[in-house]
Chain A
């Protein structure tokens, strides 16, 4: 194990670790906070909540986002909800149960201490959001309402219709706005981080491009917080926003931050199926729909054929001819099994020839029995906006015919490796939210991404960063005239010039789509040795094609969206390579990572705890050398590691 890979998990009983740690770490006095600068990159739930809180504490914060406003960050698109262990439903929920469900849901590949802390602070998040004016759903007595999500047998998910992410982000953004008005946070919109600046081994700033003018800027700070989300866009077609990207994380990786568990990508079971080659993205249908929707495919091949030919309507197939395969295979959790399990089961049915839609790559999500039981009005209240969205996209009315869904890339559990303090292997560089690897193991449970982003930003980072900065109170403002800044700026300028001068024949998107196809085919829902080998070769070939034959129109000193995309795609090749290498190394099936060689006889994923109960942390060497794998062993002191069972 690398000496850099020290998790810093506090000693002691699980439930006391965070409390003891907080008591043990140092704080910075208000007078000294005023002298310290912090850069936060990204304005989603993690970045906005961290920047607002750090501003409230008195630090000087600079926040960067690539959009025209912090509110556009992709957290806004999260639909279903946010988990917390409030036990308002009196269904025997607790911090322990939320912790346990998350560890189990993550297929025993997350740290116990981190996950327990997450569960501990979850309740404070709900209190904070309500205080900010987030209009969560309420029942008739005026109390907060809850719904159920996959991987849990209690109702602990708080929600604001199908727009929970939007409402939580607007809450964090409002707090951020308040600090911007006060002057404690300075906002840089339409700015993209293009490199991390490291001085004497510490993160001391970033190089950013003003996306409107094309100017390259230097920004210095005592610490840098990366809150730039995940890297799912490497697949081109995903539920991520078009501009979401893992580029900033890769820049940090190249500067020495280890990358944790890159192969763990979440494939969400309920997305609207692909319609054709002109498609630019996939749309998610919230997991909350599985509260009332039942998933099925026909039992008989002849029905499948007639459905595909358009001569039979799904609603005309009688109950007895439907295979509710999740209820059949997993009676205890039924339609609410975790995402990885539901996705694999859909793939299994489609591979066996029972898939519907003209492509054969879809299953039904049916609300007819819920409508019969509760009435159309209740269903409309619960999911109205989702049903409307579905109809707008597909031109099919889901109140009358079942929805068609298929799995799609949605979230990445892997990310920059961080210790218990959320600090990366570069001192002074922190990673929070989806950008880090820490809390979800091999599979994230629904409604836990919002919880983690806000936990990191509101309640964890603001404490732990003080411990680091307390040793930096004598350090004056970081001088952006230092040679390290000049060097980083020069590298960025050279890269841009190189891209502008290729003047080849292919568009950025055409190459990105090709990369996406390689990744979905070989590093997607199911992976095997041979496929991964092919993927590595194809990625390398395509990368060369990109650097020889891409065409970036316009100039670098103006608003140039093609240049933005080209810079991100250049980093996507590195992400693709890392994911493939990690998938190759992890010869077990675990969470979102299915190795075809490792399955039980009845098609369930087979973990190998003997060999793979560790976090893989990859260290960058150079473009042409393979990265080095370091291993952080995972120790389970408080839960009994078991095969995940959602059957009984």
Chain B
């Protein structure tokens, strides 16, 4: 297969970026999208040009490192996958493919397609944990947890922290990300104890870091590679409101 790759190039955080188009040929349909970029980079390097910088690591859809806005969609045209699991068979021969970094006030560009998602760490540091030290935990089966609650907690905990929800939201809101963590812990008895404090602290941090408000467009859910439901946002809102009522 062959393609025209129209890709965002930006030297560093301060430089001005622009699109540059490259031709690429002899790509197998079984090749993954990131392997296609590897091949493009190989070509650029052999022409003594600078390769395109992009984030990636596990290449099996779990580390959350890869990002990319491809033809106007976070993680590209396939559903329920991260970019590393996207294959070239999802494109048509000869197609022009536009590749951009996440665009959001909360995620400044570092270089080319790489953005700084450090804000996600900061939001979790504000309260995305249960305050328990190592040692002294009771036996794991002491408190039974219904299968339904454990499963729902796990649904929310599947978030890989890639940032597709923020990138795809017209308001640049991080609500789905925050809700996934709050909801995952709120479904478990051990997470209930700090539920109110957690919801307030994480929402406050999210606002402070320049993420937008949620207006329920549902775009985040549609683009989430792990299919995380916006029903978790409803749960976050309940947690947040009840916390505020008790203030």
**Residues of B contacting A558 with CB < 8 Å?**
11-12, 111
The segment out of A90-98, A133-141, A614-622 that lies at the interface is A133-141
Contact partner of A77 (CB less than 8 A), chosen from B39, B62, B121, is: B62
Q: Which residues 149-164 of A have a CB within 8 angstroms of B?
A: 160-161, 163
The winner among A68, A140, A509 for most chain B CB atoms within 10 A is: A68
List chain A residues, Cβ under 8 A from B38. 278, 280, 509
Q: Which residues of B contact A379 (CB under 8 A)?
A: none
Kindly state the interface size class of chain B when it binds its partner.
35 or more
Determine whether the beta carbon of A170 is less than 8 Å from that of B157.
yes
* Complex: chain A residue closest to B111, CB-CB: A559
Contact of B62 among A68, A76, A175, A507 (CB under 8 A): A76
Chain B residues whose C-beta falls within 8 Å of the C-beta of A52 in the assembled complex: 134
Given A53-B134, A72-B65: A135 touches B78 (CB 8 Å cut-off): no
The size of the chain A interface, using a CB distance under 8 A, is: 81
Instruction: List which A13-69 residues lie within 8 A (CB) of chain B.
Output: 49, 52-53, 56, 67-69
In Å, the complex CA distance between A231 and B81 comes to: 28
- The interface residues of chain B lying within 8 Å CB-to-CB of A74 are 57-58, 63
A143-B118 contact, Cβ under 8 Å, with A133-B185, A138-B147, A280-B59: no
Contact B58 A275 (CB under 8 A): no
Residues A139 and B137 in contact, CB atoms below 8 Å apart: no
* B23-55 CB contacts (< 8 Å) to partner A: 27-28, 30-32, 34-35, 38-39, 42, 45-46, 48-51, 53, 55
Cβ contact of A283, chosen from B49, B60, B80, cutoff 8 A: B60
Complex partner residue of A135 from B31, B57, B118, B157, CB under 8 angstroms: B157
How near does chain A come to B141, taking the closest CB pair, in angstroms?
Answer: 5
Q: With the chains together, A133 CA to B28 CA distance in Å?
A: 43
Q: Are B125 and A177 in contact (CB under 8 A)?
A: yes
- Are A136 and B150 in touch, CB under 8 angstroms? yes
List 19 interface pairs A-B (beta carbons < 8 Å), by A numbering: A56-B134, A68-B116, A76-B63, A88-B141, A124-B135, A124-B137, A129-B140, A132-B132, A138-B146, A140-B147, A173-B124, A177-B129, A180-B125, A279-B31, A458-B134, A458-B135, A551-B45, A558-B12, A559-B12
**B-binding residues in A (CB < 8 A):** 49, 52-53, 56, 67-72, 74, 76-77, 86, 88, 124, 126-133, 135-144, 160-161, 163, 165-167, 170, 173-175, 177-178, 180-181, 187, 189, 212, 241-243, 275-276, 278-281, 283-284, 388-389, 392-393, 395, 458-459, 462, 505, 507, 509-510, 551, 553-554, 558-559, 561-562
Residues of B within 8 A of A (CB): 11-12, 27-28, 30-32, 34-35, 38-39, 42, 45-46, 48-51, 53, 55-65, 78, 80-81, 85, 87, 89, 110-111, 114, 116-118, 120-121, 124-126, 128-135, 137-141, 144-147, 150-151, 153-154, 157-158, 160-161, 184-185, 187-188, 190-191
Closest 10 pairs between A and B when the two form their complex, measured CB to CB: A142-B144, A174-B129, A131-B137, A127-B137, A135-B153, A135-B154, A130-B140, A181-B125, A241-B58, A53-B134
